[in-house]
Amino acid sequence: MNKATPSTMMDNKGQLAVALPSHQPMPLLTKLLFYGVLPIALPIVVSYKMLTDKSYRLTTTSLFSLVNGATKKPCTDEWYFQDVGLLQKLWSLPSAAAYIQKSADTVPDSSSSDNDNTPLLEYQVREGYCGSATQRCILKSLGYPSNSIPDQKGGESKPDLWCEHVKQIAKESTHGADGMEIETTIVRGSDVTYEEFLSTLRQGLDNPNCRICCNYLRSALTGLELTGLWKFHPLFFVLKLYGGHFSPILGMVEQDDKEEKDNPFIAIFDTNHKYNGAYFVPCRRLYDAVSSIDVGSKKSRAIILVEKKSV
C-alpha cells in the first residue's frame, strides 16, 4: 500500500488539507431548546447556583479569571499560533505523520476511503460532536478502518465516558479481532504537576502506538472571542466558561528560546473547522486549560493516552 506524503496534502498555509464537514441542519427540537428554553432557564440556574453554592461560586470566579486573562492575551494573536514554519516542523514528526501515513497494521478494504492518500483527521460535523470526531481521528490513525468506526455522534462529554466508548468501538471494530486492544489512561490536570504533565506528553508522543486526546477549556487559550451577534446570546458566557472541548494532540515542537526549554509548543488539531486545523499553544497555557474545573463533574479536565496493544 502506498503511503501518503505530507507535501501532497498541504495547503498554502502549511495546514493538512482536511475536508470541511457537510452542513448538518439543526433538528427542530434542538433549535427550540437552544433558542427558546436555555436562554431563559440558564441565567436563572446560574444565578441561583452563584448565590447558594460557595464551591460553584469559587469555581466560576476562577474560570472567569482564567478566560479573562486569555481574552487580554489570546493565543490566536500570537505569532506561533498557526506559523507556517512551525507547521512544517510538525508534519515531519512521527506523532503527526501518524495522522497522514498508513500504519502497517491497517486492514485493507476496497470500499473504504482509508486506502486513498487522504488525511486521517476529520472535523466534527456538528456542535457537541467533538469527542466523537476525536475518537474517529485517533482510531483511524491507529489503523482501524474508517468503515468499522461508527459515525460521529454527541454525548462524549466526559473523559471517563469517552474512554469507555473508544475502547468499546475498538473492540467491535473489524481490526479488533486481529489480536489488538485499546488501553486508555486519564491524566487530569489537577492531579499532576506541570512537570509531570509535560513528561506525560513527551512520553505519549514518543510512543508510536500511543495517541493523545485532549479535553480542555479552549477559551482559556483563545479568550472570549467577542465577535458577531453570538456574543449577545445568553448561552455565550456559559459555554465559554463551562464548555469543554475534545481534540487530538498531534505533536510537540521545542521553542528556540533556551529560557523556554520547559515550555514547548503543543500542536492541537481542533476538530472545530472554524479554527482552520492545527494550531500551537505553549505547554504551560495548555496545562492551565486542562487543569480547569468542569462544574458538572467537579473534576478537572484531562489528557487521555490511548495506546494500542497486542493481546
What is the grid cell recorded at 134? Answer: 476525536
Looking at residue 106, its pLDDT comes to 41
Looking at residue 7, its pLDDT comes to 54
How far apart are alpha carbons 52 and 179 in whole angstroms?
A: 53
Burial zone of 37 (CB within 10 Å; 0-12 exposed, 13-18 middle, 19+ buried): exposed
Own/partner contacts of 25-30, CB < 8 Å, gap of 24 or more, are 26/126
Q: Which of 94, 163, 176, 107 is nearest to 134 (CA)?
A: 163
Burial zone of 182 (CB within 10 Å; 0-12 exposed, 13-18 middle, 19+ buried): buried
Looking at residue 1, its pLDDT comes to 37
Looking at residue 101, its pLDDT comes to 62
Looking at residue 2, its pLDDT comes to 41
Looking at residue 270, its pLDDT comes to 98
> What is Dmax (Cα atoms) for the chain?
62
Looking at residue 117, its pLDDT comes to 59
Give the end-to-end CA distance of the chain in Å, rounded to a whole number.
25
How far apart are alpha carbons 253 and 140 in whole angstroms?
A: 23
How crowded is the C-beta side of 36, counted as CA atoms within 13 Å?
Answer: 6
Q: Provide the residue-wise pLDDT of the chain in tens; the chain has 311 residues.
A: 344 445 557 888 999 999 999 877 778 888 888 778 888 888 899 999 999 999 999 999 999 999 999 999 999 999 999 999 999 999 999 999 999 965 444 444 434 444 455 799 999 999 889 999 999 999 999 999 999 999 999 888 899 999 999 999 999 986 655 677 999 999 999 999 999 999 999 999 999 999 999 999 999 999 998 776 666 666 778 888 999 999 999 999 999 988 888 999 999 999 999 999 999 999 999 999 999 999 989 999 999 999 998 87
What is the grid cell recorded at 135? Answer: 475518537
